[in-house]
């Protein structure tokens, strides 16, 4: 059965010759880097849970290509139920890891490439779709983790790709050969990029005629010649090197371990190219990817918030405030916001519809509304967590103060709240809350899957304002009523 174990995932990463830079230094083995290991451990949970019988239904699916049981992270959405199960999987994984588990970008990129390769073939007479299906079989058979690489550096934001002073500001084809293409450029913010097997490169913005070199979708092995990764910093990441209570998230990462991936004239063979110059289809490709990914946030952030709410509720016990009615009400407010976004994600999925290729798309208005709410609710939930946990989140001493024989007893004595709980517990909870409401976490909620304005543009387009105006006109001025009722206004009109 094509389901990797967590151990096989780690060993498969070890076998790759990934060129990675962490903290400005080249690392020989990403698996042995203490800054990357928590992110690898997070992804390992996605592999582990697929083997548990109680999670089989949400963590695995039947391949529409082979009929085999595969990981849901390599599946093409075949129904609205598949979309709902995906959101359920994300909430589950969010609850288990309390952070971003990274594989969803690759999954949505996989689905976007599947759908668009079909549509391009239909319109242009190309043969991308069969090529992509062959690649998809490999991904499913090997249970690969894909990094979906969408976001270009973009350079000057007021200029198009073809207008940039540096033409490499967007990934582009720099050479066409009989057996493939050579690409150059970089993609930023790649969630899980550094610990993926493959990079699925897609254009990140709509293109126009004349920009054919930027219309490239292809799959590149993470250790291909010319590929390198630069790991991003996260709030408090170097605390992971210190040990003790101060780490916050000792087992799992804070968000997704984002990395910059650079393509230094990377050769991509023809069989790994799924779009090459068809600029007219790129807008749809970006729309498909973004819409699926925006709905996700109601699932993964829902699970993350479950953990944060749990940590905050436990903190109120440690502080001795848990029986206070105002405290309980603030916890309810956190729950309310969390369940609202989850419900929208489930709704967007339940109302999914078939694309021309037969795979399923979430309902776009709801999907964008999910992400728009996330850009607010994650901040609001974090604000309430800060409110309930107290100011010591920002002022607590580091663990070394507790261990210092001169001052340790004093620090411990004056940081003990409810004596039923050890002060270490207060610190551990505080550090976790600190990390999960940090700048890195908040910014990811704000800009991941597109910045807030990107969702608002889609929402306005989907809102059919003219139809709403017509609805208002009909309700206010309509005449289609049951005869004989003394309706105000109408009665006067009749008697006049
Ligand atoms: Fe998945 Fe959420 Fe992370 Fe995106 S932010 S990769 S949807 S867990």
For 104-155, write each residue's pLDDT tens digit.
999 999 999 999 999 999 999 999 999 999 999 999 999 999 999 999 999 9
Task: State the pLDDT confidence band at 240, using cuts at 50, 70 and 90.
Answer: confident
Residue 8 has pLDDT above 50, yes or no: yes
Residue 490 has pLDDT above 70, yes or no: no
Confidence (pLDDT) at 208: 97
Say if ligand 1 is within 6 A of residue 101 CB: yes
Confidence (pLDDT) at 68: 97
* pTM as predicted: 0.94
Tokens of 46: 């996605």
Nearest CA to ligand 1 atom 7: 296
- Of 73, 91, 92, 102, best ligand 1 pocket probe by most atoms within 8 Å of the beta carbon: 102
Task: State the pLDDT confidence band at 253, using cuts at 50, 70 and 90.
Answer: confident
Nearest CA to ligand 1 atom 1: 104
Residue with tokens 């588990």: 101
Paired residues of 26 in beta bridges: 21
Confidence (pLDDT) at 495: 47
Task: State the pLDDT confidence band at 239, using cuts at 50, 70 and 90.
Answer: confident
Q: How far apart are CA 417 and CA 191, in angstroms?
A: 39
Confidence (pLDDT) at 496: 45
- Tell how far the Cα of 101 is from the centroid of ligand 1, in angstroms: 6
Say if ligand 1 is within 6 A of residue 448 CB: yes
**Active-site amino acid positions:** 100, 104, 191, 258, 293, 297, 300, 444
- Tell how far the Cα of 266 is from the centroid of ligand 1, in angstroms: 27
Atom of ligand 1 nearest to the CA of 449: 4
SS3 230: strand
- Per-residue pLDDT averaged across 39-62, rounded? 97
Atom of ligand 1 nearest to the CA of 296: 7
Nearest CA to ligand 1 atom 6: 102
Confidence (pLDDT) at 148: 96
Going through 317-432 in order, the beta strands assigned E by DSSP cover: 353-354, 360-361
Paired residues of 353 in beta bridges: 361
Element (H, E) at 196: none
Sheet with 20-22, strands from edge to edge, namely: 25-27, 20-22, 227-231, 259-269, 180-190, 172-177
Residue 241 has pLDDT above 90, yes or no: no
Task: State the pLDDT confidence band at 1, using cuts at 50, 70 and 90.
Answer: low
Atom of ligand 1 nearest to the CA of 448: 5
For residue 248, the 8-state DSSP code is S
Indicate the average pLDDT of the chain. 95
Question: Poorest-confidence range of 245-259, 323-337, 367-381?
Answer: 245-259
- Per-residue pLDDT averaged across 61-90, rounded? 98
């Amino acid at each position: 059965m094509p389901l990797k174990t967590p151990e096989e995932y780690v060993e498969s990463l070890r076998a790759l010759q990934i060129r990675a830079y962490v903290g400005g230094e080249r690392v020989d083995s990403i698996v042995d880097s203490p800054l990357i290991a928590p992110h690898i451990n997070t992804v390992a949970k996605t592999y582990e849970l697929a083997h548990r019988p109680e999670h089989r239904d949400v963590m695995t699916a039947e391949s529409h290509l082979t009929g085999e049981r595969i990981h849901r992270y390599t599946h093409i959405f075949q129904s609205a139920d598949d979309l709902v199960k995906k959101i359920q999987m994300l909430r589950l994984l969010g609850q288990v890891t309390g952070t971003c588990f990274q594989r969803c970008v690759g999954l949505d990129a996989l689905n976007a490439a599947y759908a668009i390769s079909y549509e391009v073939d239909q319109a242009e007479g190309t043969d991308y779709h069969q090529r992509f299906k062959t690649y998809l079989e490999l991904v499913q058979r090997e249970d690969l983790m894909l990094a979906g690489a969408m976001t270009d550096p973009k350079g000057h934001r007021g200029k198009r790709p073809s207008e940039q002073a540096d033409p490499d500001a967007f990934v582009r084809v720099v050479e066409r050969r009989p057996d493939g293409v050579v690409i150059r450029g970089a993609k930023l913010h790649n969630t899980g990029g550094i610990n993926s097997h493959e990079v699925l490169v897609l254009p990140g913005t709509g293109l126009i005629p004349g920009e054919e070199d930027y219309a490239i979708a292809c799959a590149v092995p993470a250790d291909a010649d010319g590929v390198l990764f630069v790991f991003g910093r996260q709030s408090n990441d170097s605390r992971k090197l210190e040990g003790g209570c101060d780490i916050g998230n000792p087992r799992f990462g804070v968000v997704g371990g984002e990395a910059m991936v650079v393509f230094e004239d990377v050769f991509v063979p023809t069989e790994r190219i799924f779009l090459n110059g068809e600029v007219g289809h790129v807008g749809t490709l970006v729309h498909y990817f973004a819409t699926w990914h925006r709905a996700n946030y109601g699932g993964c952030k829902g699970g993350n918030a479950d953990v944060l709410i749990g940590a905050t509720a436990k903190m109120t016990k440690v502080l001795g405030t848990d029986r206070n009615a105002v405290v309980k009400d603030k916890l309810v407010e956190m729950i309310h916001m969390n369940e609202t976004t989850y419900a929208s994600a489930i709704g967007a999925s339940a109302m999914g519809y078939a694309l021309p290729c037969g795979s399923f798309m979430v309902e776009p208005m709801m999907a964008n509304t999910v992400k728009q709410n996330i850009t607010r609710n994650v901040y609001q939930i974090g604000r309430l967590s800060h409110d309930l946990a107290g100011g010591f989140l920002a002022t607590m001493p580091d663990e070394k103060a507790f261990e210092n024989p001169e001052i340790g007893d004093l620090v411990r004595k004056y940081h003990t709240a409810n004596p039923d709980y050890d002060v270490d517990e207060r610190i551990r909870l505080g550090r976790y809350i600190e990390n999960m409401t940090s700048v890195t976490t908040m910014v990811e909620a704000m800009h991941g899957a597109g910045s807030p304005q990107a969702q608002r543009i889609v929402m306005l387009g989907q809102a059919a304002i003219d139809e709403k105006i017509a609805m208002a006109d009909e309700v206010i001025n309509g005449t289609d009523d049951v005869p004989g009722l003394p309706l105000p206004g109408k009665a006067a009109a009749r008697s006049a």
